Chains A and B, each alone.
Chain A
Amino acid sequence: MNLRRAKTIFVKELVDILRDHRTLAAMIVAPIVLYPLLMLGGIQAATSQAREIKKDDIVVGFVKESDWEDVVKPILLEDHRILRRQLAEAKARSASDDEIAEIPIAIGEKIRPLRTDVIRESLLQRKIQCAIILNEPPESDGQTSLTIVVQQDEMRSQIAGQFLEEAFMRVRDEQRDRNLARLHIPIAVVEPIVLTREEITTPGSVLGLILPFILVLMTVTGAIYPAIDLTAGERERGTLESLMVCPVPVMDLIVGKFMAVTTIAIIAAALNIASVTATVYFGGLGETLMQSAEDAEQAFPLWAFPVVLFSLIPFAVLMSAIMIAVCSCARTFKEAQNYVMPVIMLVLVPGGIAALPASRLEGVMIVLPVANMVLLTRELLSGVEVSISTFLTVLLSTSLYAAVAVTVAAQVFGKESVLFADSISLRAIVSRRLMKPQKYPSLSLAGLYAAVLFPVWFYLQNSLQLASPDNMESVLLWTTALMPVFFVLAPVGVALYAKINTIATFRLRLPRWPAILGAIFVGSATWVLAHELFVFQDRLFGTPDILKDSGQAMTDALQAMPFAVAVLVIAIGPALCEELFFRGFLLSGLRTSMRKWPAILCGAAAFGAFHFLIFRFPVTATLGVLLGWICWQSRSIWPAVIVHAMHNGSALALARAPALQERLGLSESGPPTHLPPLYIAIAVALLAIGGFLISITGDRSADQKYPAH
């Protein structure tokens, strides 16, 4: 990719978009004018409505006239007297106006009784706000038992009920205290525990609940218009052909456009956040919500806003990429708008799930697009500690999805059937009849499959572990059963549908014998070197308990299984399935657009990411590089399968042979230790010999990237 050209396109698109009054309106006017209006107006309206409701008379329903006259009215009159006395005492103490004002107004005057035989219906028809039922008193102990009936989903009814409850409680407490005083009994006898409830707010929690989802929506909204304008708009205005006839690769065009859309989305997000900040701090919204300036500062910490903006950037990148990919399929503005709507709905679903108060950043949520960003933003705002591996997984998975979306966009944007087709573009993209036979899958197809498989596989692994948390054996068996479906059968199905040569794509051709021999040498050495790398990593960063626990659980499970099953589960199954997918399908897709080493490195990074534990990433990704090189060099999958199976088999042999572990000085507890230098030297020698044998099987032209057909 030529960065200078991508920058030229980016600058032009940015200027073009920023000169459009519709973009400016959506991006600047909406947040600056709309937020304060919506937030302040809405909250003030709600507050004043609540105040109005409090002023209203309360209509209380009774079943019998005597209930009101003989029981309830005297209690309320008593409460009236208590309140008046409290008011007089406050005045006598020359208390401040605030304290006097806090004494409730006399309630006996604002309650209107209404006799009714049908309490439930009267409440539902809003004839009464609440009802009081006099219960049968318990046997002659002088107690009065009342039930207050309120309508749970009606605010006026709730307020009325609370009003009456407080009045009854005041009278009850007053009478109890008076009785106790008369009998000379200390109050502690009947109330040995005095319970006071104090509520504190997690800094940012109020914002954390409501803001991420709104900001996610506003960021998406910010990306929609430019994405449509720069793709479908270009087609509709007739400027696309003159652009495509320039000697510029489609990827450069898409990257330039994608950067412009991302920039606009981030500017929109930043303006939205700035507007919220201004509304909370200078518009008095914080005080209105939290009663005092101090509470407002606690609930809406200023530092939270830049944190939110920072965490929104990867999300803006992802959404821009998705929008560009979707809009690239459309030929007109209207068509693009039709395509965008379902995408917004798709964003709302995981975003909405994440916005639920009970959702946490754990399990599949960590890699679920959109939901993970909403939750990460919320956790950051609430001051919850997010582990570095979770944080990185969220950012990496989001970046992976964004990269795939950009690649797919480039593929779609330049596709002839979409550029000039008169029929429906989407059909032109997926119709098998319109596909030409290809030797390898395109980068976008392989990347798209990997991006879909990533959360699906993560979810399956999580579900298996949740289903049998203490049964690693079952997890391993299920994984072995599912792996061929997702890593082999489904990609083969995709390849067959897309008329892709499966022999070439999955590198099924038999290698030359030196490659097989070399693979056996390399395969017998990799475990030692992977272990040394792991020890080195452990010295630097330590090893989390979760990794140690899962390692131990796996060792136990492997010891318990019959040997043949263990070999299938740990060595043959993963070696075949993972190699066919990562070094077959994915690497073949990568090699159509990349040179040797970038393709191998990207494939290895995906291989590492699919193991889901960030602490295993360095080891698995390094193995991925080695396996990728072996496959590229030998032009066959089989040497990589041999190395992979032998590597995993070594781990199995160790797990089942404690004596061997002891001889190698590997303790079960405590930090991992280096192997004896002799073993390391032998492993390095085997690797060198094997590497040499494999390298002589390759040809020089293997350095070049392969065309897709």
Chain B
Amino acid sequence: MFIIDVQNLRKTFPSPDGCDKVAVDGLSFCVEQGRIFGLLGPNGAGKTTTLRMLSGLMAPTSGRAMLAGYDIATQPNDVKRSIGFLTANTGLYQRLTPRDILVYFGRLHGMADDRAFARAEELITWLEISEFADLRCGALSTGQRQRVNIARALVADPPILILDEPTLGLDVLSNRLILDFICRERTEGKTIILCTHYLDEAEDMCDHIGLLHRGTLVANGTIEELRIQAGAERLSNIFLTIVHEDKSVDI
């Protein structure tokens, strides 16, 4: 039973010249519960559009995607209840404290006040936020902000996490803390879609990898399967080989 089931997902955007621009084309993949699925690809490959569709922020032009049993097209609110979404350029409310933000998002997810406060406290402890939990977010460092962002995505304790560049621009310590936390969430049965440009991270953490190039999934499998497909050892080489092959097919 797959907790994420994506079939032929397609998204086009109207462009000023009248021709629709295809951002994602015929994307299909499935993820089992408790696995980390790495969605990799060069810039402009369609990763962010895919994640936005999966999180109910964008309606697909065609195709179907089921997350935790809910259809993103017809049950977007149920999908939103089942996911924690961290975008690449997520900001924080500068004048609120991390504690304010966690309680606020807890309430928005329909939690009662005492439950929202208790959950905020839990996340503050797990992600080592206590030290700056009552400072305004405007005064926090990049690493501290990213920890708050991850806590915000987890506030409703969703079964699926969609993380877009969770370690972007972080120092080694913050990076380690967040990767450890992601591993722990997987151990607890959460399903994670991870988008990252750090291929070493993806190689270490992902159970499955999907390689997206110009809107289509050019490779999909475990790291071992990809090694065989590309005939290369390191993920960075696999990545380059497959992307180059895709280009040459076009030529």
Cβ–Cβ < 8 Å partners of B85 in chain A: 241-242, 245
Q: Report whether B107 and A20 are in contact in the complex, using a CB–CB cutoff of 8 Å.
A: no
**Residue A563 at the B interface, CB < 8 A?**
no
Cβ–Cβ < 8 Å partners of B89 in chain A: 238
C-alpha spacing A242/B89, complex, angstroms: 10
> Which of B57, B108, B110 is most buried by chain A, counting CB atoms within 10 A of its CB?
B108
Among B86, B93, B109, which residue has its beta carbon within 8 angstroms of that of A247?
Answer: B109
- A214-253 vs B, CB cutoff 8 Å, 1 = contact: the mask equals 0000000000000000000000011101111111110000
Q: Report whether A19 and B105 are in contact in the complex, using a CB–CB cutoff of 8 Å.
A: no
Q: Report whether A237 and B91 are in contact in the complex, using a CB–CB cutoff of 8 Å.
A: yes
**Residue A5 at the B interface, CB < 8 A?**
yes
Q: Report whether A241 and B90 are in contact in the complex, using a CB–CB cutoff of 8 Å.
A: yes
Q: Report whether A245 and B80 are in contact in the complex, using a CB–CB cutoff of 8 Å.
A: yes
A237-B91, A242-B85, A433-B14 given as contacts; is B108 within 8 A of A5 (CB)?
Answer: yes
B107 to chain A, nearest CB (A): 4
Among B81, B87, B95, which residue has its beta carbon within 8 angstroms of that of A242?
Answer: B87
Q: Report whether A416 and B59 are in contact in the complex, using a CB–CB cutoff of 8 Å.
A: yes
**Residue A110 at the B interface, CB < 8 A?**
no
- B98-127 vs A, CB cutoff 8 Å, 1 = contact: the mask equals 001000110111100000000000000000
User: Interface residues of A, CB < 8 Å — how many?
Assistant: 26
**Residue A69 at the B interface, CB < 8 A?**
no
C-alpha spacing A86/B71, complex, angstroms: 99
CB within 8 Å of B: which of A1-19?
5, 8-9, 12, 15-16, 19
B10 to chain A, nearest CB (A): 15
A416-B59, A423-B16 given as contacts; is B83 within 8 A of A15 (CB)?
Answer: no
Among A9, A241, A423, which residue has its beta carbon within 8 angstroms of that of B87?
Answer: A241
User: Interface residues of B, CB < 8 Å — how many?
Assistant: 36
- B8-36 vs A, CB cutoff 8 Å, 1 = contact: the mask equals 00000010101000000000000000000
**Residue A685 at the B interface, CB < 8 A?**
no
B195 to chain A, nearest CB (A): 14
> Which of B56, B93, B110 is most buried by chain A, counting CB atoms within 10 A of its CB?
B93
B68 to chain A, nearest CB (A): 13
A529 to chain B, nearest CB (A): 43
**Residue B220 at the A interface, CB < 8 A?**
no
B58 to chain A, nearest CB (A): 6
**Residue A653 at the B interface, CB < 8 A?**
no
Nearest CB in chain B to that of A435: its residue: B14
A8-B108, A12-B104 given as contacts; is B96 within 8 A of A241 (CB)?
Answer: no
- Residues in A lying within 8 Å of B, measured CB to CB: 5, 8-9, 12, 15-16, 19-20, 237-239, 241-249, 416, 419-420, 423, 433-434
- 10 nearest A-B pairs in the assembled complex, by CB-CB distance: A238-B91, A237-B91, A19-B95, A247-B80, A245-B85, A8-B107, A246-B108, A247-B77, A247-B81, A239-B91
Known: A12-B100, A242-B152, A245-B85. 5 other contacts (CB 8 A): A15-B100, A19-B95, A237-B94, A242-B105, A245-B83
- Residues in B lying within 8 Å of A, measured CB to CB: 14, 16, 18, 52, 55-59, 77-78, 80-81, 83, 85-87, 89-96, 100, 104-105, 107-110, 136, 149, 152-153
